[in-house]
Structure 1
Amino acid sequence: MLPKQLLCVPAPDPVTAAILVAAAPGFAIRHAHDAAGAHALLRAHPLPVGLAMLAMPSAAGPLDQLLREHCRTRWVALCTGAALDDAACRRLVAGHCLDFHTLPVDVARLRQTLGHAFGMAKLDVAPGQAPHAAESPASRLTGSSEAIARLRRQLRKVAAADAPVLIWGESGTGKELAARAVHEGSARAAGPFVPINCGAIPASLVQSELFGHERGAFTGAGRARAGLIESAAGGSVFLDEIGDLPLDMQVNLLRFLQEKTIYRLGATRSQPVDVRVIAASHVRLDDAVARGTFREDLYYRLNVLTLDMPPLRERREDVPALAETFFRDHARERPAHVRGFSHGALEAMHAHHWPGNVRELHNRVRRAAVMAEGRLIMPHDLGLDTAGMPALALHGARVQAERRAIEAGLGAGKSITLVARELGVSRMTVYRLMAKHSIAPPARKREP
């Protein structure tokens, strides 16, 4: 069940705070002294309803980004007349708030507004689902599916060791994020993390880029230069798409893994380097060994600790949490009127196959957040086709549940006030839902 909590930012004076207690019966009221404090609190503990105190015109600037990023919280503004005379405050209220009240507070009206805001928040959250999904502190491996939970458990075990790691996964599954999580959870976390895309380095420069060179080693080498592996000393080097490394360079990498020393190009002596190697590939290296494009001895040197990244189609229940995370990440880019995802968009994302995995989802959400014209992102904003989707999907089930709940209450002869109380929403929400589902109001009984 959604907790009945209210956030007030910035913290009000003692008199206003006492009035809010009377206006919000049943709410647990939490205070944040400023927008930064509210942002940290909402990141850790998402709350359904928020009160934005606009006592002065200057308050609009700090609060705008807060309300934009935490748009799933239902915001109500408390404004002074001076604040409403300011254009920035008016834009903030119109773009982000469910309703607003002018000071001094009308307790009865504010109580009704807060009840309505909480009712709207309840309609927006599926049973058992939090308004904002928790995200991994070490990486963006967001989700609560069994596949991602198993991966997190494996990451903790792998990070505690210091052996080479081999990560396999389709393109876009987050292999570099997993590698960073291994590094940040290890004893080498204070050292550098150096990612290298082996497929992006020209074959003629691989030796110099990875191992460095001495002065005069080749034309144009005017000074000595450390390689990328050497620059990761004390930390971790991430060799992405290691299957694209040329065979002759695989020999040098094997020597480094065996001896923990490197030879700079043009050097006459080796030098030790303390680096943990984390490698990744979107192709199975055992298949590459069978084809003769990858050295078998190097494969066994790397294949000590392994991690398999699950594709997004195998963890579809994580799609809403990931989409919400990406939506918040690009809060500065999107127009103020875009507040979140429609139920149709969530259904379309759940039904999509995601050949590009998390990277594809990220790109679609970012584009939709910028280009959407309505308050909610629709399937066409994401570029997703809704043809062939189940007729009775999540949105349809919710619509039917809303209609049945109201019809059952009114059919039993209950008043709208009693129906609203039993459903935990305001009378205005019940009236809105009756209009949405074309439910006629109950006939009033005539006096005898």
Structure 2
Amino acid sequence: MTSHSAILCVTLGKVPSPASLAQAVAGYSLHQVASLKEAERLQVLQPVRVGLLLIGTEFSEPPAALEEFLLRHWQVRWVALLPPRLLCQPCWRALVHAHCHDFHTMPLDAARLGQTLGHVQGLAALGTALLPATAPVLPHMVGISNAMTRMRGQLQRVAGVLAPVLISGESGSGKELVAQAVHGLSARRKAPFIAVNCAALPASLIHAELFGHERGAYTGASRERRGLIEAAQGGTLLLDEIGDLPLELQASLLRFLQEKTILRLGSTVSRTVDVRVLAATHVDLAQAVARGSFREDLYYRLNVLSLEVPPLRQRREDVLPLAQYFFQQYAGERSRQLRGFSRTAAQALAAHDWPGNVRELLNRVRRAMVMADGRWIMPPDLGLEAVARSRAELGLDDARVLAERAAIAASLLEAGSNVAQAARRLGVSRMTLYRLLAKHGIAVRSHQRDTLRSAPD
């Protein structure tokens, strides 16, 4: 859990430890380390939001390693204390300008540094962020909505059995990530996970790709080859876009599901394969069965267990956590001065309808990380300037609802999902907050803490 009154103090080189430093940090919990490696470890165990860099007078190494560290921990607000001579070097000036909220030069002025740290702590406390302070409970399953809470519970139950699972949802909604989570939570997680896009394989090759072939089975088959089903031996096979599988292949797949054996193309010998099959589709397979484009017996074989991935527009409270998650995942692609999303950008993200679902969100965030010129991503960087303009024209009632929802979510997440603490922050009773949570459909999960990064407009 992130500490709200702690400071990570990273000392590089020989730095005197005057009593004035203790005076400057009085009232805070100071976590002192003497190397970047120690700082990395401590930030995992006890993450903080404010850091103090003490650069010693004898420190002469180039700041490349320090810059890599600061890039990884961009969400921390850093204050630097360094010798004046370092600021004569362009590389150090650029580093301090890009990564530090403020800086001081030696000799230390305890009163001034104490005021700076108090200001930075106050700014950090104002914000709440978009990203959980700890890793998601399940891989990539980031979100605070009721839909994601239900999905996580379903995944835990589904992963514990070996029956086939049919995963449905719109294109780009994250069906393959759900399949990976099922595999990762199962007893087969150390075995292969093989994903096959049935829509991307040519109809003439799909049988050989799935079931393999013997040498000479067809022109160009110069050697025997295992199919993707065999490659998943002991693990999990995901048949993505199963609704696009040709009818003639559906019969072979049904036989494999029933008998757990395959027949390579050009072979007369059946091979036993131990594979758990997951299938994903964006089409309604029940309607496909009615149209005659999908076998009814195969549909019931695949649909033993089912998971439905909701579109992003039905879980809007997950948009901001996902956006910040992607921002961290692809931190290496951003410019070093980029800090995160501005408030107007966050509002535009929350207001957009996301027809392309999570895939569209990922693409827009990655593009914005490359295209943004300043310290904060703005709506035009995301291609959402029209959404930002329309949101600015909202009526008073709509604006009030959005503001109320944002305030509740921010306070709840800042309090680590503790309803009593969140209610005190909002100045309402706990029962009133429970009513507001029900009104806005916000789920409370005590085992996850999310943070929202404050940013300018």
C-alpha distance in 2, partners of 1:350/1:342?
A: 12
Number of the residue aligned with 1:26 = 27
2:104 alignment partner, one of 101, 105, 114: 101
Number of the residue aligned with 2:225 = 225
Matched, 1:67 2:64: no
Number of the residue aligned with 1:198 = 198
Structure 2 SS opposite 1:9: strand
Structure of greater Rg: 1
Number of the residue aligned with 2:93 = 90
Number of the residue aligned with 2:312 = 312
1:116 alignment partner, one of 116, 119, 142: 119
How has the CA–CA distance of structure 1 residues 196 and 396 changed in structure 2, closer, same or farther, with 3 Å as cutoff?
A: closer
C-alpha distance in 2, partners of 1:7/1:77?
A: 12
Q: CA deviation at 1:10?
A: 4.7
Matched, 1:387 2:350: no
Deviations 1:304-361 (A, max 9, x none): 1111111111111111111111111222221122211111111111110001111111
User: Which structure would you say has the larger RCO, counting Cα contacts within 8 Å and 6 or more residues apart?
Assistant: 2
C-alpha distance in 2, partners of 1:396/1:286?
A: 38
Number of the residue aligned with 2:418 = none
Q: CA deviation at 1:7?
A: 1.4
Asked if 2 retains the 8 angstrom alpha-carbon contact of 1:2 and 1:122, the reply is: no
How has the CA–CA distance of structure 1 residues 17 and 331 changed in structure 2, closer, same or farther, with 3 Å as cutoff?
A: farther
Asked if 1 retains the 8 angstrom alpha-carbon contact of 2:198 and 2:239, the reply is: yes
Q: CA deviation at 1:176?
A: 0.9
In structure 1, list runs of 5 or more residues that go unmatched.
402-435, 437-448
Deviations 1:55-82 (A, max 9, x none): 3243622221332243232111122345
When structure 1 is superposed on structure 2, of 350-359 and 385-394 the one drifting more is 385-394
Q: CA deviation at 1:104?
A: 3.8
Asked if 1 retains the 8 angstrom alpha-carbon contact of 2:237 and 2:277, the reply is: yes
When structure 1 is superposed on structure 2, of 129-138 and 353-362 the one drifting more is 129-138
C-alpha distance in 1, partners of 2:322/2:402?
A: 23
Structure 2 SS opposite 1:213: coil
Q: CA deviation at 1:23?
A: 1.3
Percentage of pairs with the same residue? 53
Number of the residue aligned with 2:375 = 375
C-alpha distance in 1, partners of 2:357/2:17?
A: 49
In structure 2, list runs of 5 or more residues that go unmatched.
408-455
C-alpha distance in 2, partners of 1:176/1:18?
A: 56
Q: CA deviation at 1:387?
A: 2.8
Number of the residue aligned with 2:184 = 184
Instruction: Let me know the Cα RMSD of the aligned residues.
Output: 2.6
Matches within 5 A, 1:283-298: 283-298=283-298
Structure 1 SS opposite 2:268: coil
How has the CA–CA distance of structure 1 residues 155 and 212 changed in structure 2, closer, same or farther, with 3 Å as cutoff?
A: same
Aligned residues: 397
Structure 2 SS opposite 1:332: helix
C-alpha distance in 2, partners of 1:97/1:156?
A: 42
Structure 1 SS opposite 2:237: strand
Structure 2 SS opposite 1:217: coil
TM-score calculated relative to the size of structure 2: 0.81
How has the CA–CA distance of structure 1 residues 168 and 130 changed in structure 2, closer, same or farther, with 3 Å as cutoff?
A: closer
Matches within 5 A, 1:335-414: 335-384=335-384, 385=386, 386-389=388-391, 390=394, 393=399
Deviations 1:117-167 (A, max 9, x none): 1122223x14xx576554425421111111111111111111111111111
C-alpha distance in 2, partners of 1:194/1:31?
A: 45
Matched, 1:214 2:214: yes
Q: CA deviation at 1:263?
A: 0.4
How has the CA–CA distance of structure 1 residues 334 and 138 changed in structure 2, closer, same or farther, with 3 Å as cutoff?
A: same
Q: CA deviation at 1:288?
A: 1.2
When structure 1 is superposed on structure 2, of 133-142 and 148-157 the one drifting more is 133-142
C-alpha distance in 1, partners of 2:230/2:31?
A: 50
Structure 2 SS opposite 1:118: helix
C-alpha distance in 1, partners of 2:177/2:403?
A: 36
Number of the residue aligned with 1:257 = 257
C-alpha distance in 1, partners of 2:155/2:19?
A: 48
When structure 1 is superposed on structure 2, of 224-233 and 378-387 the one drifting more is 378-387
C-alpha distance in 1, partners of 2:65/2:401?
A: 35
C-alpha distance in 2, partners of 1:44/1:152?
A: 25
Residue identity matched to 1:5: A
Asked if 2 retains the 8 angstrom alpha-carbon contact of 1:159 and 1:186, the reply is: yes
